[in-house]
Amino acid sequence: MQVIPIGLRSPLAPGDDLVEEFLRACSDSGVEIATGDVVAIATKAISAVEGLYIQLSDVRPSSTACKLARGVRMSPEFVQAVLDRADQTLGCVRHAILTVVSGTVAPNAGLDAKNAPRGTLAAWPEDPDLEAWRIREEIRRRTQARVGVILVDSGLIPLRRGTVGLAVGVAGMEPLVDYRGRPDIYGRTIRITLMDLADSLASAAHAVMGEGDELTPFALIKGARVKIADSYGRDSILLPQERCAIIGSLTVGRFPIGTE
C-alpha cells in the first residue's frame, strides 16, 4: 500500500475548486489517479474552500457557556460555538468538551482555531458523508476513476497524548471489512471481528499529511485492500452508544472507581 502526500503551494481559499486543486496537485507531483485509489482530504480543506469558519466575535455566549468556560479554561465564545455545533455533549476536561458530531466522537465539536484565519474556528461540513460523495462524483466526472473518498480530521485515542486520523466522512468505498464467517489461521470461523478500514486509512493519511504548516491537505492511497462501491457514507461503521465498548463501558456500564 502506498500513501502519497499531495501538497499545495499556497493555502486554499473560499471559492477555490477543491477537486481542480487536488487534480492539479496530483499532476504537479507526477501522481496519476486510478480506479481503486482512496483519496483522503483534510476537513480543513473543505472549511477553506466553503468558508466554513465561525467568527468568534459574532458569537454571543449564554450564561451556561460562560460558567462552563471557566471550568474548562476556554473562551466563552469558543464554548458557545461548541454547544451550538455539537449533536451531543458528553463531558469535559480542561481545554476540551467531548462531543458527538455527525456520529463521530470529537473534542470541541470538531471546531479548531489551528490553520484557520485569525479570530475564527474552522468547522466540519454539515454533512461530511454527502460532501465526500460530491467530491467522489466530481473526481469520477473529470477523470473517469472510481475512487473512495475519506474526509480526515485528527481524532483521539483513549489515554494517548497526540492525534491519529479519523474518517469524518466516507464515500465510494465499503468503510468496513467484515471478517464474520471467514476462518482464522486455525480454520475456526470468526464470529465478531470487523475491521474499520476507513479510520485505519484515515490514520495512514494523517501520518503523511501532518498537523502544522505542511500545506498537505490531500493524500492518495494506492493498493489498499478496499472494496470500491457506489456507497454513500459511514452508516455501517457507526455504533450505538450503549454497545460501544468505550462509551458504553464508561457510562451505563461503568464500574465504581477502584474496582479491580
Report the residue from 14, 27, 35, 95 that binds a copy of itself according to the rule CB under 8 A: 95
**201 near a copy of itself, judged by CB under 8 A:** yes
Q: How do beta strands 218-222 and 2-6 pair?
A: antiparallel
The gap between the terminal CA atoms of the chain, to the nearest Å, is 42
**27 near a copy of itself, judged by CB under 8 A:** no
**204 near a copy of itself, judged by CB under 8 A:** yes
Which string of b and e fits 164-190 if b means at least 16 CB within 10 Å? bbbbbbbbbbbbbbeeeeeeeeeeeee
**143 burial level (CB within 10 Å; 0-12, 13-18, 19+):** middle
Question: Which C-beta is closer to a copy of itself: that of 4 or that of 130?
Answer: 4
Alpha carbons 206 and 214: distance in angstroms, whole number: 12
List Cβ neighbours of 242 (8 Å cut-off, separation of 6 or more): 248, 251, 252
**49 near a copy of itself, judged by CB under 8 A:** no
Q: Which range in 53-61, 92-100, 124-132, 137-145 contacts a copy of itself by CB under 8 A? A: 92-100
**45 near a copy of itself, judged by CB under 8 A:** no
Question: What does the per-residue mask of binding to a copy of itself show for 140-179, with x meaning CB under 8 A?
Answer: --------------xxxxxxxxxxxxx---------xx-x
**9 near a copy of itself, judged by CB under 8 A:** no
**57 near a copy of itself, judged by CB under 8 A:** no
Question: What does the per-residue mask of binding to a copy of itself show for 96-115, with x meaning CB under 8 A?
Answer: xxx-x--xxx-x------xx
Report the residue from 146, 194, 227, 228 that binds a copy of itself according to the rule CB under 8 A: 194
Alpha carbons 88 and 139: distance in angstroms, whole number: 33
Q: Which range in 19-27, 49-57, 135-143, 195-203 contacts a copy of itself by CB under 8 A? A: 195-203
Q: Report DSSP state, residue 227.
A: -
